[in-house]
């Protein structure tokens, strides 16, 4: 990572459909997803468990290669995994036999040892872990390990950062801290950020655009909401609470509809 600011790429998705299985066992998980995420903005995808959030993110990461519809990253059609995207999962997925520094360096290729170290240390400092470079993952707390995973995702200066419930396994206080930190990082890096969460509060705190997903029906995305609240956002502000309530009741309604059909 150089000192320069990374510029995000926009994401344009048209009629994305993803089916698992074939014939009578086919399960259509993503139906007709059309969505734009402007360059340098934050989109949060919310929805109940099993509605296809991770599948959606895996498509964007290039990890699911069979789907219908079109996905453009900047001006380029999506084509498998690439260094233009950094991915963070709910579990940190650090390699236990490598140090923190080696884990972050793992994805970097073609740089001299000196350049690699410089780059890795800059990323680790960005997530506040400059002093932990030589530690092994087993010594880290959940929050620290996830910060290393974020540093690893940033090391190639991605234009797009994809996060799948990155704070879902953390305790409540660490989670709040991490939400502030990811926002500070985003403000520095200006990457486009797509974050999947089942935490409505997290989505309202972070997002420029909230994408509400629910299973069933002709379309998986039931609603997209642009959040115009100024940052830093106050979780106790009336507008914040009202938006959280609106999304929650919308999701409850979807759930009720689904139960009635079943
Ligand atoms: N590789 C797969 N093969 C078959 N079904 C899958 C696969 N991955 C996910 N699914 C199914 O797709 C649906 C959506 O899963 P997922 O995207 O993980 O949902 P979410 O992240 O919203 O909880 C689930 O019903 C899940 O069982
Ligand atoms: Mg998931």
Q: What token pair was written down for 48?
A: 């109940």
Which atom in ligand 1 lies closest to the alpha carbon of residue 52? Answer: 17
CA atoms within 13 A on the CB side of 250: 19
Query: Could you give the 3-state DSSP secondary structure of residue 107?
Result: coil
Nearest CA to ligand 1 atom 10: 20
Q: Does 254 or 200 have the greater pLDDT score?
A: 200
What are the Cα distances from residue 248, in Å, to 43, 60, 72, 80, 244? 17, 26, 30, 34, 6
d(C-alpha 144, C-alpha 208), whole Å? 26
Nearest CA to ligand 1 atom 24: 50
**Tens-digit pLDDT profile for residues 190-213:** 899 999 999 999 999 999 999 999
- CA–centroid distance, 89 to ligand 2, in Å, is 9
**Tens-digit pLDDT profile for residues 74-130:** 999 999 999 999 999 999 999 999 999 999 999 887 899 999 999 999 999 999 999
Report residue 258's pLDDT band, with 50, 70 and 90 as the boundaries: confident
> Which sequence spans correspond to the domains of the chain?
1-84+161-262, 89-157
Q: What is the pLDDT of residue 6?
A: 54
- CA–centroid distance, 49 to ligand 1, in Å, is 9
User: CB within 5 A of ion ligand 2: which residues?
Assistant: 54
- CA–centroid distance, 50 to ligand 1, in Å, is 6
Best residue for ligand 1 mutational test, from 21, 26, 29 (most atoms within 8 Å of Cβ): 29
If you average pLDDT over residues 145-152, what whole number do you get?
97
Query: Which CATH class for the 1-84+161-262 domain?
Result: alpha beta
CB contact set of 227 (below 8 Å; sequence gap of 6+): 204, 207, 208, 209, 210, 243
What are the Cα distances from residue 58, in Å, to 7, 9, 104, 192? 22, 17, 21, 16
Ligand 1 pocket by Cβ (under 6 Å): 20, 27, 29, 47, 49-55
Q: Does 255 or 46 have the greater pLDDT score?
A: 46
**Tens-digit pLDDT profile for residues 64-86:** 999 999 999 999 999 999 999 99
Q: What token pair was written down for 94?
A: 């650090």
- CA–centroid distance, 18 to ligand 2, in Å, is 15
The pTM assigned to this predicted structure is 0.95
């Amino acid at each position: 990572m150089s000192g320069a600011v990374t510029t995000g790429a926009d994401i344009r998705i048209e009629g994305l459909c993803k089916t698992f299985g074939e014939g009578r066992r086919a399960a259509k998980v993503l139906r007709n997803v059309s969505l734009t995420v402007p360059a340098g903005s934050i989109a949060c995808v919310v929805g109940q468990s099993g509605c296809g959030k991770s599948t959606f993110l895996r498509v964007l990461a290039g990890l699911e290669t069979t789907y219908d519809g079109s996905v453009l990253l900047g001006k380029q059609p999506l084509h498998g995994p690439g260094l233009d995207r950094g991915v963070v999962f709910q579990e940190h997925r650090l390699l236990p036999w490598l140090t923190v520094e080696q884990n972050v360096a793992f994805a970097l290729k073609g740089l001299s040892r000196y350049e690699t170290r410089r780059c890795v240390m800059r990323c680790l400092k960005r997530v506040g872990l400059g002093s932990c470079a030589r530690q092994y993952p087993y010594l880290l707390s959940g929050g620290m390990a996830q910060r290393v995973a974020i540093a690893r995702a940033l090391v190639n200066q991605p234009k797009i950062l994809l996060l799948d419930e990155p704070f879902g396994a953390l305790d409540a206080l660490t989670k709040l801290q991490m939400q502030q930190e990811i926002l500070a990082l985003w403000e520095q890096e200006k990457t486009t950020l797509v974050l999947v969460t089942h935490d409505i509060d997290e989505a309202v705190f972070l997002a420029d655009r909230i994408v509400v997903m629910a299973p069933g029906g002709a379309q998986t995305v039931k609603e997209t909401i642009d959040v115009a609240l100024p940052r830093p956002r106050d979780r106790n502000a009336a507008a914040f609470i009202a938006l959280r309530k609106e999304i929650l009741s919308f999701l409850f309604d979807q759930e009720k509809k689904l139960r009635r059909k079943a």
